[in-house]
Structure 1
Amino acid sequence: MNEAILILAAAAAVASGTPLMLAALGGLLSERAGVINISIEGMMLMGAVSAFLAAQGTSSIAVALVAGMLAGAALAAVHAFLCVTMKANQIVAGLAMVIFGSGVATFLGKSVEGQAIAVRITPCDLPFLSDIPVLGRILFQHDPMVYASWVLVVLVAVYFRYTKPGLTTRSVGESPATADVMGVRVAAIQYCHTIASGVLAGLAGAYLVLARVPNWSQAATTSGLGWIAVALIVFSSWRPLRLLAGAYLFGLALRANFTLQAAGFGSIPAEVLSMLPYVLTIAVLILLSAFDKSSRLGAPAALGKPYFRNER
């Protein structure tokens, strides 16, 4: 495998890992506040179909991105209502949101099935940085959303580590009863972060249709990326910077089919190579399950546990 193919593979991993990172970063926001979000796949599909329809109607990338984020936020608001207000089982609620989001996306996208999108997000090389040998080709010859995703990761990392609202959110995820005693509005924190989770998941879906896939096909738009994003949150131990590295690792696996075929490994069936990211997901979850889930992986202590204020 020559150097040119390796550079192209690394660059493709960054591009393919960006929607994964955006979706997983959204899930991390929700889960740091103690609300499990396994409905990312449904939110991504809602964001994707809304962005596609908005792009077809307005030919505006900005409007399409906003439409995707709003659609993801709407589904996340329902998820928050079920989990925070109604105290529903968060896993069951998440699965229900995936089914509901997939169904709505199928219904809305039926009229445009197979159509090519009207506008696309195009690459924008960063001046001077894109001319750096090797590194410039890998990191600095992408579209603006890739660069924006780096800023988001840093902002989220700083938010949870150094700001009062971020530390308050972490306290809610660890012990909502203690946070409540200190005067924190637990429900408001969980609502805000769950809806923010939907905004980023919807943005990930919008980015997919605007930059990564050539036309609308509900069955192939996300291709299960939302589920990989859920695994990526666990893989990253709920840490934003580690999540970024994990997203690019999974992005590399997503592009392995094309990379290995280009390198001349034609003897490996394409169907087998296409399974690699999902096999990697299963392998990661199996390996992580061998460790203590709370103390070693860094999961919030109250993750997935509805908070009943009268039972403090």
Structure 2
Amino acid sequence: MSTIAPVSLPTQPTPPDDGPATAVIRSWKTPIALGIFTVLGAIMLVAFGRDGISTMVLSTTSDLIQLPTVDFPTRATGIVISVLLLAIATGSAWLVRNSRKTPIWLIGVFAFLLLLGFLAWASAGASIPIPGLLFGSLSLAVPLIFGALGGVISERVGVVNVAIEGQLLAGAFTSALVASITGQPLLGLLAAMLAGVLVAFVLAAFSIKYFVDQVIVGVVLNVLVSGVTGFLFTQLLAPNAATLNQPPKFDRINIPFLSEIPILGPVLFRQTLIVYIMYFAVIAVYFGIFHTKWGLRLRAVGEHPQAADTVGIKVAATRFWNVSLAGAIAGAGGAYFTLGSVGAFGKEMTAGAGFIALAAVIFGRWDPIRATLAALLFGFASNLQSVLSIIGSPVPSEFMLMLPYLVTIFAVAGLVGRSRGPAASGKPYIKS
């Protein structure tokens, strides 16, 4: 019996194992956005360029260090900035083509150049006081920042806080009343925080305990607080304005040395106590959410409450107390209207600031620092339209008021990046 010897077939060399294959995903959103703004900027700065000299005033008369004013030839400045914008947009497209991400600092330079070009174009033949512009922007942004911080905490724990407007308004009314009666603005601030907690308490009770739709509860609370404060203002504060609606405002506190830093000193370190509390609140909320056990529990409840419940975290209690904390922070923002800015309570004086703060939360991707920057953008745009109207700029004030909302629409639409909130935000947790 014969046997057949096995025949070995020639084999191809095995390619080296370089690990799992990875797909390269290119996102052209950033280059497209930069290209659109470059085209719009070139149309404004070059096609509709203006002649004259644009003056930027960098110091106030009370500054210890006086900086010289800076003059820009308006048309030439517009041409140079348009070229730089085109270079940055092209560079961003080149980076994406080579599977690289556009760095944040490059986007920041692009935004600064675009803003500088717009200011130079709008102020042709006039001058813009930069410290005053920035100071007013921060003043308008303070209540928005407080409201945005409250919104971040509330939504991170899983409750959509549409009632920020009501918390701001309740804080403004209570602070004016208590500070007027006691003559102590600090007591007014504490009362405002308590008022914010009470509004948040109702939101938490209905949405967490009784599973009522959180958005509906928030809208109803806004209408309720607006009606109650409006009624009390008409019946109580207005007839007794001398005793019940003349709260003492916080005095400005100049921080030694820091208040003398050019430009930033007068803006950041010649402020009232509420503003300094806001600085601390931004840092504390950011550090607490991302670097403490409290923040880990809060984020776990907002992302996956069932898993959090499995490891022993009390979901309902965690949500309840953190929504109350968010209300206290928003209430402090309401106190700024009466104790740091206006000096008296007026009907519906928040004027939709709570909804703008909620937009800042979304624009900032539920991050305290980014939400603060978004609130500063709203404050800057609002104050810029006032400054431009004073110097007689041809830019319609209505356009400047629309600008932050347009930017928010771009952000929410995903043009400047993906925007996704906490997975369990707005969803009631029913323990099985």
Scaled by the length of structure 2, the TM-score of the pair is: 0.67
- d(CA) in 1 for partners of 2:362, 2:154: 13
Amino acid of the residue matched to residue 133 of structure 2?
A: A
Which residue is 1:240 aligned to?
A: 368
User: What corresponds to 1:66 in structure 2?
Assistant: 190
Residue among 288, 296, 306 paired with 2:428: 306
Structure 2: gaps spanning 5 or more residues: 1-54, 59-128
- Secondary structure (helix, strand or coil) at the match of 1:2 reads strand
| Residue number among 237, 240, 252 corresponding to 1:112 in the alignment | 237
Report the residue type matching 2:197 in the other structure: A
CA distance in 2, matches of 1:280, 1:229: 15
Aligned to 1:77, which of 201, 222, 231? 201
Structure 1 unaligned residues grouped into runs of 5+: none
- 1:282 pairs with one of 397, 401, 405: 405
Name the SS for the 2:195 alignment partner.
Answer: helix
Cα separation, 1, equivalents of 2:208 and 2:161: 12
Measured in 2, the distance between the counterparts of 1:153 and 1:20 equals 12
Pair 1:151 & 2:151 matched: no
* Separation of aligned partners in 2, 1:289 and 1:149: 26
Question: Structure 1's 172 and 90: CA in aligned 2 closer, same or farther, altered over 3 A?
Answer: same
Which secondary structure state, in structure 1, belongs to the residue aligned with residue 270 of structure 2?
Answer: coil
Residue 304 of structure 1 aligns with an amino acid whose one-letter code is G
| CA RMSD of superposed structures (Å) | 2.0
Quote how far apart the aligned CAs of 1:262 are. 3.4
| Preserved contact between residue 130 and residue 263 of structure 2 (Cα < 8 Å) | no
What are the equivalent positions in structure 2 for 1:5-20 lying under 5 Å apart?
A: 5-20=129-144
1:253 aligns with 2:378: no
CA shift, 1:139, in A, is: 1.6
Moved over 6 A (4+): none
What is the CA distance between 1:292 and its match in structure 2?
9.7
- 1:173 corresponds to 2:302: yes
**1:142 CA displacement:** 1.4
Code of the aligned partner of 1:171: A
The offset of 1:163, in angstroms, is: 0.6
Query: d(CA) in 2 for partners of 1:282 and 1:254?
Result: 11
- Between the aligned partners of 1:140 and 1:37, the Cα distance in structure 2 is 31
Residues 1:98 and 2:222 aligned together: yes
- Equivalent-residue separation in structure 2 for 1:230 and 1:127 (angstroms): 35
Secondary structure, aligned partner of 2:271: coil
Are the counterparts in 1 of residues 363 and 412 from structure 2 also a CA contact under 8 Å?
Answer: no
Q: Contact 1:49–1:108 (CA<8 Å) still a contact in 2?
A: no
Which residue is equivalent to 1:38?
A: 162
1:18-57 to 2 correspondence within 5 Å? 18-57=142-181
Identity of aligned residues (%): 34
Q: CA separation in 2, counterparts of 1:238 and 1:60?
A: 35
Q: Deviations over 1:41-83 (max 9, x none)?
A: 1111111111111111111111111111111100110000111
Q: In structure 1, what is the equivalent of residue 103 of structure 2?
A: none
- Say which one has the larger Rg: 2
1:6-27, Cα deviation, whole Å (9 max, x unpaired):
2210121122211110111011
* Contact 1:46–1:104 (8 Å) recurs in 2: no
Answering whether residue 56 of structure 2 is matched by residue 2 of structure 1, we say: yes
1:291 lines up with 2:414 in the alignment: yes
The answer on whether the counterparts of 2:337 and 2:343 sit within 8 Å (CA) in structure 1 is no
Q: How big is the shift at 1:286?
A: 2.1
Q: Which has the higher contact order (CA 8 A, sep 6+)?
A: 1
Offset, 1:281: 4.5
Opposite residue 363 of structure 2, the aligned amino acid is F
* 1:223-272 deviation line (CA, Å, top 9, x unaligned): 1111100100001111111122222111111212321133332x5565x2
Question: Within the alignment, does 1:183 sit opposite 2:183 as a pair?
Answer: no
Match of 1:163 in 2: 292
Return the alpha-carbon distance in structure 2 between the equivalents of residues 211 and 244 of structure 1: 19
**Equivalents in 2 of 1:70, 1:214: separation in Å?**
20
Instruction: Measure, in 1, the Cα distance between the counterparts of 2:414 and 2:262.
Output: 40
Distance, in Å, in 1 between the alignment partners of 2:222 and 2:404 is: 19
Q: 2:376 and 2:409 mapped to 1: Cα distance?
A: 20
CA contact (8 A) 1:10 1:138 kept: yes
3-state SS of the aligned residue for 1:218? coil
**Which one has the bigger helix percentage?**
1
Deviations along 1:180-222, whole A, 9 cap, x unmatched?
Answer: 0111000001001111111111111111111111432113x21
